[in-house]
Structure 1
Amino acid sequence: MKSFHFLGLLSLALAFSFASAFDPSPLQDFCVAIPEPKNAVFVNGKFCKNPNLTVAEDFFFPGLNVPGNTGNRVGSNVTLVNVDKLFGLNTLGISLARLDFAPYGGLIPPHTHPRATEILVVVEGTLYVGFVTSNPNRLFTKVLYPGDVFVFPIGLIHFQFNIAKTNAVAFAGLSSQNPGVITIANAIFGLIHPLILMFSLRPSNWTTMKW
């Protein structure tokens, strides 16, 4: 249990270490988010609470010690703490996630974070992780054990897969208060017409081929 707490604190330290890596630097101590005023224009971020009205609860989120439910088709659960969950993160350029994996086969499918680099520390179990570079594509993979750290550069496709017969837990820091996520399979096969995908895989000499 002590090692779990230590690695959890380590993941927090890693997250805070690159707090200004991508989101704009704040111009004040904090800007606790509040719902947008009526008829206001949403641009990029949140409106700020009056600093004189902020309280400690604005900077607090409980429960990351609680395992997520992995009883789904991919056998994983992500508990994300971003600006929508912790209003005090607004303008601070960071967020945090707990990743839970079911035994042997728990998967966080290939996905990207369009606005954040992700740094991951394994707390429990064994994970096979990797990311793909932009063209020309290269695949970087690694097997991680408790205490190991791996970084996924901003915007690149990456994944995490539990290859052990026990549960796995990891924590991830992300360099944005709202990193976003695009699950590749859902985006491609769920939204793009199959004909477009078929033509995307066509050989270079397709116009001269006999059908």
Structure 2
Amino acid sequence: MPGNTSNLVRSNVTTVNVDQIPGLNTLGISLVRIDYAPYGGQNPPHTHPRGTEILVVVQGTLYVGFVTSNPENRLITKILYPGDVFVFPIGLIHFQFNIGNTPAVAFAGLSSQNAGVITIASAVFGSNPPINPDVLTRAFQLEKNVVTHLQSLF
């Protein structure tokens, strides 16, 4: 069933992992369905610390990518159409963004019964308790008021 995409990121991730199906325990697999609103629906930058992801687009057009690890930090991107497949290696920051004017749908298999997910902006600016703004000001080379504003959003 399509997920509700009326939220800030305009997407919905429906997860099928060991939490929903206990029989997946020790099998090293899980699945997600991602629904994206027309132009701008996104699965924001995130990482899966315990699994590689393979994504297949079934509807729409997605701009996808990942960033390689330090020190290179090279961005690898591709535009995907229905039937196209893309792999996001374990632990690397990656994203998907709907560049089409119609809804998009993709399915992803993950090489873990619970790959985990760390959404970068939420983790950095929405931690509980908050990370000291002085740390983030220096790390991101931003003004303190920008950091505190971003923290207030999460």
Offset, 1:96: 0.3
User: What residue ranges of structure 1 are gaps of 5+ in the alignment?
Assistant: 1-65, 203-211
| 1:87-98 aligned within 5 A | 87-98=22-33
Match of 1:198 in 2: 137
CA deviation vs aligned residue, 1:33-69 (integer Å, no higher than 9, x gap): xxxxxxxxxxxxxxxxxxxxxxxxxxxxxxxxx1011
Offset, 1:201: 4.3
User: What residue ranges of structure 2 are gaps of 5+ in the alignment?
Assistant: 142-154
Match of 1:110 in 2: 45
Normalized per residue, the structure richer in strand is 2
Match of 1:157 in 2: 93
Q: Could you tell me which of 84, 90, 104 is aligned with 1:148?
A: 84
CA deviation vs aligned residue, 1:110-169 (integer Å, no higher than 9, x gap): 000000000000000000000001112110000000000000000000000000000000
Q: Which has the higher contact order (CA 8 A, sep 6+)?
A: 2
Match of 1:122 in 2: 57
| 1:25-104 aligned within 5 A | 66-104=1-39
Match of 1:133 in 2: 68
Structure index of larger Rg? 1
Normalised by the size of structure 2, how large is the TM-score? 0.87
